Amino acid sequence: MSLVGGVVGLGVISRALPEEDFGLWVVVSTLAVLGGVVDGGLTQAMRNRLSRLASLDERDHEAERQLFGTVLRVMGVLALLLAGLVVVTSATVPWGQLVGAQGGDDDARTLVVVVLCAYLLGVPLGLGSAGFVAYHQSSAKGLAEGAQALALLLATLVCAGSGLLALAGGYFLVLDGSLFIVLLLFVRSRGWRWRQLRGRTSRSELRSLVREGSGFWLLAAASIVVFSLNPLVAAHVLGVTEAGELGATQRLFLFLITLHFTVLTPLWSAYAAAAERGEWEWIARATRRSLAATVLLVIVGGGLLLVTAEPLLRLWLGRTVTDGPLVLALVAWFGVYALTNCLSVVLNGTGLVGQQAAFAAGAAVLTWPVCAWLGQRHGPSGIVWGTVLVVLPGTLANAVRVRRLLDVKVERS
């Protein structure tokens, strides 16, 4: 439902906004995703620990509650501080230039501030969804996210015709409000009360959580830079209108990526629990099946989009976007992205973050110069091929790491 709502919503926005405003919306939405790395990796570390605690024969429900409450409190304070910093410094930061706006710097600044603050505040509120995944309550998470998608689509329909700033205000108000409701539902599903979430976790436990989360943070931050900033690079190299077209075409493939990762996400917690119990043969079987399904999705889904991308974009956005080389580059981008996610879920669930974080960090450093250089010479497709080139070494290294890990563990079990 969330996928359908996002697709329909972007089609509405494309028809309601002028080309430059639509491009600005795509670029700013991409930039705002950076707000998701401010948790320092605590969300992923908490999810792994909750999954491990829930897999024990003798459950320590108090430890689970204290863990969740501590992370919620720490991330809530951090999000408020960072949102305040964004507001205070908004007058001095050239947001219009940063997002490649051709004019109306004040409007661009206001738009970025609204979107960044909304995303920052949504980080602690999103812990409810992470909690559902940790406890393998995927159906509850799916229902909650479906309701959220409907609410966001309604906000888009109501606000899109009133201009870019009204759209951003209405959309992100509904987004944060729905995340808060999901958080409430999760806490209630565990039988916890809000006052119980004030219980303290020891400093040593918190430091341990931060150490575990630091690797996840580096991996998440680097991955966002690598896979999400193509439209921002395009805005600077080619202009905001071209960036909007690249971002919209890329979102056709992100539809498949989101569908793919929705299936993979429960495996993350399942791998963590199985590793705790020593069930490595099951992990090996599940990994082989997920890789086979991933390759099939890339071949079938990528092949279909290679043929149908142009008419789909015309039907979806009401605009003609014709760029065959870009679509071909995005098929390769989709394949590398999907395989990277599939391997990363295995390594994340088993706590092996270091190597993949190192490769991801290296790719993040290279992304802007490589993509900008290729974009200047080959246009939007060059930007996408730049991402493929910087990511591929890490994907291959992760494949070797997963193979060796499973061979050793299965042999010993």
CA distances from 385 to 227, 327, 341, 371 (A): 11, 11, 18, 7
* Confidence band of 202 (pLDDT split at 50, 70, 90): low
* Confidence band of 408 (pLDDT split at 50, 70, 90): confident
Q: What is the pLDDT of residue 105?
A: 62
Which candidate, 42, 255, 258, 3, places its Cα nearest to that of 134?
42
Q: What is the distance between the alpha carbons of residues 314 and 22, in angstroms, rounded to a whole number? A: 15
Q: What is the distance between the alpha carbons of residues 210 and 294, in angstroms, rounded to a whole number? A: 32
Residue 59 in this model has a pLDDT that exceeds 80: no
3-state DSSP of 43-84: HHHHHHHHHHHHHCCCCCHHHHHHHHHHHHHHHHHHHHHHHH
Q: What is the pLDDT of residue 386?
A: 93
Which of 394 and 209 is assigned the larger pLDDT?
394
Residue matched to tokens 């931050």: 221
Average predicted confidence (pLDDT) for the chain:
79
Q: Region 79-104: what's the mean pLDDT?
A: 74
Lowest-pLDDT choice from 126-130, 152-156, 211-215, 405-409: 211-215
Lowest-pLDDT choice from 133-137, 204-208, 272-276, 327-331: 204-208
Taking only the tens place, the pLDDT of each residue in 281-303 is 888 888 899 999 999 988 998 88
Phi, psi for residue 28 in degrees, rounded to 5: -65, -40
* Confidence band of 322 (pLDDT split at 50, 70, 90): low
Q: What is the pLDDT of residue 102?
A: 56
Counting runs of H as helices and runs of E as strands, what totals does the chain give? 16, 0
Contact 352, 271 (CB under 8 A): no
Which candidate, 306, 300, 362, places its Cα nearest to that of 329?
306
Q: Region 310-329: what's the mean pLDDT?
A: 76
Taking only the tens place, the pLDDT of each residue in 342-400 is 998 888 888 777 788 888 889 889 988 999 999 999 888 899 999 999 999 999 999 99
Q: What is the pLDDT of residue 1?
A: 47
Q: What is the distance between the alpha carbons of residues 97 and 240, in angstroms, rounded to a whole number? A: 11
Residue 269 in this model has a pLDDT that exceeds 50: yes
Residue 154 in this model has a pLDDT that exceeds 70: yes
Q: What is the distance between the alpha carbons of residues 349 and 412, in angstroms, rounded to a whole number? A: 19
DSSP label at 195?
A: G
Lowest-pLDDT choice from 9-18, 327-336, 349-358: 9-18
Contact 360, 279 (CB under 8 A): no
Which of 212 and 285 is assigned the larger pLDDT?
285
Percent of the chain with pLDDT over 70: 83
**Amino acid letter for position 337:** Y
Give the ranges where 89-163 is alpha helix by DSSP (H). Answer: 95-98, 105-125, 127-134, 138-159
User: What value, to the nearest 5°, has the Cα angle with vertex 126 and ends 219 and 161?
Assistant: 105
Q: What is the distance between the alpha carbons of residues 408 and 370, in angstroms, rounded to a whole number? A: 37
Q: What is the pLDDT of residue 164?
A: 75
CA distances from 170 to 25, 174, 180, 249 (A): 14, 6, 16, 25
The DSSP-derived string for 328-350 is HHHHHHHHHHHHHHHHHHHHHHT
Q: What is the pLDDT of residue 221?
A: 76
The DSSP-derived string for 371-412 is HHHHHHHHTHHHHHHHHHHHHHHHHHHHHHHHHHHHHHHHHH
